[in-house]
Structure 1
């Protein structure tokens, strides 16, 4: 079935449909990862977005349960240059088209993704809609519809768990505030022996105090961080009491809780090849990233926040530490799966911070 991708600036791309039937709409964003399509599709940070893969072929190793970052995908649609006709992997449980069909997520193949990506880089992120060409859609009407659609806020509350649950361990007790958390974060904590309690995004300081954890991790997730006023207020209250570690959206929330502001990026960082520099050690490494917002450097109070990491390509802030509290965060994903593992020592840093705070409390 022939499909059209219609963008809010009037551009139209053609392709062939696969996966789920019907139409979808959302922000059109691109990722430069050369592998890991399943992890990207099931990453809740892509909630309500149409995901464009710049790698020319996806789907060649199918889909398997081990690579799921969430129980179900949250992206609105998938666009690629070519989806594999045949996939093969000893862990494969389904083909990519079958997986998308199961979750009613429309896909498009045969798209000039190079031209589409160049357009997004030039104009910035655009809203778009995937429709069936056979229905002879009114392109002009759809463009006006997209232009009048407001940006969605508080998406983290939509994709986060609604009930707390336990992933047991015999080490530090860590509360993972689910703002759209990737399963790889849980795996990284469990690998270090942590007793992980995953809680909803609307968790209150009182509920956290009842558990009395050794530390709190603020997860990644979708949407505008400034709209999460409840989460920001919660962090303001608990950051004096518990060690905090923020990742991606959690990093932005920590900054907002300490007086900084965030701004929407032109087209964001999405992929596994983003170079980052540690401003203290001057060490450079590659990171996995997926974000459309960033901390506004001009809004930072240097007496309260120290910038620890910086993106080499565009100079954006990639990490901070709070000077008066045992709290730090990074914009990138140290839990990258797949992707570079250069920064996974940050989980060890979190473990050490919890140990130090325990020692101070017991002294």
Structure 2
């Protein structure tokens, strides 16, 4: 069946609807990852978004539950150049289309994803609607604009846990403020002899301290950090009382708690091949990223923030630390692949600080 992606600027991309789900609305973003498509589909940081895969062939090794970033699909829609019809891998549990059908994720294939990506690169992320019916285009454009506005709200409430979870055991106890974390974070701490206590995003600083943690980890997650004042308040109350490490959305919230500001990037950083420079040792890391906001450069003056890392693509801030207290954060995913063997050291640094 023919399908269409209608953008908020009125541009229409034609393709083929690959499953039974015929409509989807959300922010249209692209990822440059060439592998790990199932990590993208199940990453809570993509909640509510229509994701364009720039790599032309997707699904050739199927999916297996061991590699999921979370327990379920998180994307609102998926736009592809081509989906593999005959996947094959010895660990495959299911194929891409079956999983997306079961998860009710709308898939549009046979799209000129190169042209679509160039539109996003030149005009920025925008709302979009996937549909099978173009008869009311003006209404669809309005809906696409509204879809982007909805994503400025608190998205963390849709992906954070609702109760406390206990994972593993070890000589150190880490309380994880779960804003929509990936499974790899818990595994990374457990492999380093740490017990992880995961708590909901709404947990207060007082309740976190009652769990007697050795350190607090603020996770990645979706959406606008400015929509999470309650997490900023919690973070601010913990600074100076306990070591803190944040990644992704957690990195931005730590910056807000320290008095800096954040701003939306034109089209974000999404993919597994983003080069980042460590300003302390001049080492370059190839990182996995998924974020649409960054710390405003001019806002850190007069704060206790020290910049530790920068993107080599656009010079945006990728790492910070507090000038006095054991508080630091990075914008990328230390547990993501590729790059784990390099950037996993930030988990080690956090554990050393506690």
TM-score by length of 2: 0.97
Distance 1:77 1:148, change over 3 A: closer
Mapped to 2, the partners of 1:148 and 1:70 lie a distance apart of: 28
Are residues 1:143 and 2:174 paired? Answer: no
Q: Is the 8 A contact 1:63 1:95 kept in 2?
A: yes
For residues 100-127 of structure 1, what are the alpha-carbon distances to aligned partners after superposition, in whole Å with 9 as ceiling and x for unaligned?
Answer: 0001001011010000000000000010
Mapped to 2, the partners of 1:5 and 1:108 lie a distance apart of: 8
Are residues 1:295 and 2:295 paired? Answer: yes
1:277 corresponds to: 277
Q: What are the within-5 Å matches in structure 2 for residues 143-222 of structure 1?
A: 143-149=141-147, 150-152=149-151, 153-222=153-222
TM-score by length of 1: 0.95
> Deviation at 1:303?
4.8
Q: Is the 8 A contact 2:258 2:303 kept in 1?
A: no
> Deviation at 1:90?
1.2
Mapped to 1, the partners of 2:303 and 2:131 lie a distance apart of: 51
Are residues 1:12 and 2:17 paired? Answer: no
Mapped to 1, the partners of 2:344 and 2:302 lie a distance apart of: 27
> Deviation at 1:301?
3.0
Mapped to 1, the partners of 2:340 and 2:252 lie a distance apart of: 22
Mapped to 1, the partners of 2:184 and 2:337 lie a distance apart of: 7
Q: Please, which runs of 5 or more residues in structure 1 have no aligned partner?
A: 355-363
Count, aligned residues: 352
> Deviation at 1:339?
4.8
Query: What's the Cα RMSD here?
Result: 1.2
2:88 corresponds to: 88
1:350 corresponds to: 350
> Deviation at 1:136?
4.3
Q: Is the 8 A contact 1:248 1:330 kept in 2?
A: yes
1:22 corresponds to: 22
Mapped to 1, the partners of 2:213 and 2:154 lie a distance apart of: 26
Mapped to 1, the partners of 2:346 and 2:114 lie a distance apart of: 35
1:44 corresponds to: 44
1:358 corresponds to: none
